[in-house]
Structure 1
Amino acid sequence: MTISQILETLNARLLTPEADCSREVHTACGSDMMSDVLAYVKDQAVLLTGLNNPQVVRTADMMDMVCIVFVRGKKPDDLLLSLAQQRGIAVMSTDLTMFTACGLLYEQGLRGGVG
């Protein structure tokens, strides 16, 4: 699945327009606890979260993730978006809940991988 396909599936808004939306992703995780992401996530390319602070980008960067999806209509500030752009991470926002967003991506073939 590509980042473009994630955008379409989640009816999301791309907040980093210069992002490479043709990048392939094969796994995802959903969490509002960055400590859990650091402790348990392995090789997930997409992070779905409702947590809206710069730590999300730092965590995604440390875990080599290429995309962050903010759920429940969360809109990150310019500092967070700038940080993501510097690290080459695509950022999008969807009005869907985390449960629904994860379910739709799973239905389209995106998996959680081995954690």
Structure 2
Amino acid sequence: MFIREIKDILEADILACEELQDIQVTYGYGCDLMSDVLAFVRNDVILLTGLVHPQVIRTAEMLDIKAIAIIRGKKPSEELITMAKKRNIVLLTTRHSLFTASGLLYKNGLEGEEIAHDEATF
């Protein structure tokens, strides 16, 4: 799914890298625990999160995540927006909750990334 489609579905605003709306992602992953993102994300995803801390951008950079949607209407700091721009990570914000945003994307054809439980460490 193209980022521009995600923007429309989530009624989101793009805060960083608006020129990269033609990037495609294959899966969605919603999480506020960056340790889980590091442990379980393996594919081309958009990350949906309520966190507005620089660690979100650092995590995305490590995993080559090209887009992050900040949920619940949270507004990231200028520092976070600048970090995203420098790393070519599309940063969106939506008023929807994590549950609703995930559901809207799934309903419109974006699959969730499946966690391989045999690889998971609990």
Smaller-chain TM-score bracket: over 0.9
Is 17-26 or 90-99 further displaced after alignment? 17-26
Q: CA RMSD in A?
A: 1.1
- 1:53-104 CA distances to partner (integer Å, 9 max, x unpaired)? 0000000111111100000001110111111111110001000000000000
Q: 1:76 to 1:114 in 2, by over 3 A?
A: same
TM-score scaled by structure 1?
Answer: 0.95
Give 4+ residue runs of structure 1 displaced > 6 Å after superposition. Answer: none
Code of the residue aligned with 2:107 in structure 1: it is E
Structure 1 residues 35 and 88: CA distance shift in structure 2, 3 A: same
Q: Give the corresponding residue for 1:81.
A: 81
| CA spacing shift, 1:45–1:63, aligned 2, 3 Å | same
Q: How many residues align?
A: 115
Which stretches in structure 1 are left out of the alignment for 5+ residues?
none
**Going by fraction, where is strand more abundant, 1 or 2?**
2
Q: Residue in 1 aligned with 2:40?
A: 40
TM-score by structure 2 length? 0.90
Instruction: Write out per-residue CA displacement over residues 23-45 of structure 1, whole angstroms, 9 at most, x where no aligned residue.
Output: 11111100000000001111142
Match for residue 55 of structure 1?
55
Quick one: structure 1 residues 19 and 61, their matched pair in 2 at CA, closer, same or farther if it must change by over 3 Å?
Answer: farther
SS at match of 1:15: strand
Q: CA deviation at 1:17?
A: 4.7
Identity of aligned residues (%): 44
Q: Unpaired segments of 5 or more residues in structure 2?
A: 116-122
- SS of the residue corresponding to residue 46 of structure 1 reads strand
2-side partners of 1:96 and 1:18: how far apart? 20
SS in 1 for 2:80: helix
